[in-house]
Amino acid sequence: MTTSLFEFCQSPASRLLPNTPLSSVECTPRATLFKHAQRLIFPAALIVGFTTLSAADVQTAADLRAGFARADITPDPRMLNWTLTPPRPYGEVHDPLFVRALVLSDSRTKVVFLGWDLLDAREYAVARMRTAISQATGIPAAHIMIQATHNHSGPKSEMGKEPGLKREMKASRPTQDGPAYREWADRLVTTCVDIVRKADAALQPANLTLGRAYVGEWLFNRRPVRSDGTVLTMMLPKDPYVLGNGLRFGAVDPTMNVLSLRDQAGKNICTLFHVPMHAVAVYSAYKGISADWPGRVTDMLREKLGGDAFFLQGCAGDIVPARRGFEAVEAMSELISARAAAADKAAAKIKTGPIRVSHAVLGLPATATAAEDLGREAIDAEVSVVTMGPLAFVTLPGEPLQELATAIQKHSPYEHTLVLGYANGRGVGYVGLPGGKVKGGYEMSEVGAGADEAGGFLVETAVRLLRNPITAPDKRGTK
Ligand SMILES: [Zn+2]
């Protein structure tokens, strides 16, 4: 089966960016973009991409401005908890959920980072938010990055009415059809519009600093490797620091990136902290509503550094907290917030250049089961890149394993490349590098709806966007 270029441009992929004029959408057969194209098993996979930059833009460096706002999005505890089978109400709230908006501007280009304490940022919800925010603020839809903390003790984002994967429909539809969910989902749109407006109105000159800290004590890769190279799933390790039976530890990046934005008087506007780790320390032991460890660290950082704090989730598909439960949340949040404060103190100033945003939407090859569920063989997946001087943010949809971030960083020409997962869509869900499916383990089962090569296409696309000759830094360094 082959999809024509025109048909693909009319596909749900192009609806991700509702305010994109059709004339600015460039459709290129993927075969021209990937050197391994001859190996493609899926001839209909295309890439839709556009950038908002030109050579002239690059000449005009401008000062950075930043504005932040947040709002409470805690649902009515009568909402059904999707983690329970059959779903039952959450019943109570342990701590509130928030949505946070950071608007960055170089006077010419604006970009929004919108982060919510939810499980995911599905394509339908992302498109709905982008349309509403763009209409209200004039900020282009493609410049609005929406990310979930991957919090399991709160709702999933809205999935829309289109048929999805059978497994997902079964788990999510009953919850999302409930009156408490419907009311909450509509309110989420107006709340997001409101805080982006506020953050936009609060824009002020800002300095950006970057520091790093080690948080490896709390990161556990739940895919330890057997001597034959296959993977064992270890959701809850008995002892996260010891493995038996000849197992080797899976890869972990123990680095926390800490980016602080301060006003001209040196007062903190917002501190971003970026760690790749599932927000699941609470949910296995508690069935009420909580923002899990990222919420607690955020509270502690607000106290330690002033201003606000904003968690950016990394590629955490295989990375979980070393220990679980509320006691663990307190201990890890104490350590992570103390290390973030220390990293902030040691941080170096980043000389930001013009803000540049580019993206591509891929049609990733689906597994046979997913293709049957969806009635099509490609699954939309957006990759976005935001750059400013030596700093690059890459967003990947769904649940990328840590190895995708490492591969992208290795080939990025930027001095500092932060890779975010759970952003701008669900894509194929769990996704690893090619060769992962035969290694096995939970993440490589049908919870990853992409065929084995899907993760390779995400990495290649991210690297291609990062190496865009118009914006990429001249100095070819690594990281
Ligand atoms: Zn997950």
Q: Domain locations in the chain?
A: 65-215+247-350
How far does the centroid of ligand 1 lie from the alpha carbon of residue 326, in Å? 19
Q: Which of 75, 90, 63 is nearest to 352 (CA)?
A: 63
Whole-number Å distance between alpha carbons of 100 and 113 = 8
Q: Give the dihedral of Cα atoms 145, 300, 283, 125; nearest 10 deg.
A: -20
How far does the centroid of ligand 1 lie from the alpha carbon of residue 430, in Å? 8
- This prediction has a pTM of 0.88
* Pairing of the two strands 308-313 and 98-105: unpaired
Looking at residue 472, what is its pLDDT? 66
Whole-number Å distance between alpha carbons of 250 and 248 = 7
In DSSP terms, which residues pair with 379 in a beta bridge? 364
Tokens matching residue 358: 């580019």
Looking at residue 219, what is its pLDDT? 98
How far does the centroid of ligand 1 lie from the alpha carbon of residue 422, in Å? 9
How far does the centroid of ligand 1 lie from the alpha carbon of residue 56, in Å? 42
Element (H, E) at 111: strand 110-116
Looking at residue 168, what is its pLDDT? 82
Looking at residue 42, what is its pLDDT? 32
Element (H, E) at 417: strand 416-420
Element (H, E) at 359: strand 355-365
Question: In which residue are the tokens 């050579």 written?
Answer: 55
* Pairing of the two strands 378-388 and 391-395: antiparallel
Looking at residue 344, what is its pLDDT? 98
Looking at residue 456, what is its pLDDT? 98
Looking at residue 16, what is its pLDDT? 37
How far does the centroid of ligand 1 lie from the alpha carbon of residue 315, in Å? 10
How far does the centroid of ligand 1 lie from the alpha carbon of residue 64, in Å? 34
How far does the centroid of ligand 1 lie from the alpha carbon of residue 401, in Å? 10
Looking at residue 71, what is its pLDDT? 98
Q: Which residues, given as ranges, of the chain have pLDDT below 50?
A: 1-46, 48-61, 475-479
How far does the centroid of ligand 1 lie from the alpha carbon of residue 479, in Å? 25
Whole-number Å distance between alpha carbons of 436 and 430 = 11
Q: Which of 410, 414, 452, 416 is nearest to 431 (CA)?
A: 452
Looking at residue 382, what is its pLDDT? 98
How far does the centroid of ligand 1 lie from the alpha carbon of residue 233, in Å? 13
Q: Which residues contact 270 (CB under 8 A, 6 or more apart)?
A: 66, 68, 102, 260, 261, 307, 308, 309, 310
CB burial class (10 A; 0-12, 13-18, 19+) of residue 29?
A: middle
How far does the centroid of ligand 1 lie from the alpha carbon of residue 7, in Å? 32
List the end-to-end C-alpha distance of the chain, in Å, as a whole number.
40
Question: In which residue are the tokens 């342990």 written?
Answer: 94
User: For 156, which DSSP code?
Assistant: P
Question: 232 vs 121, 245, 405, 428, 447, CA distance in Å?
Answer: 28, 11, 21, 22, 16
Tokens matching residue 66: 């930043």
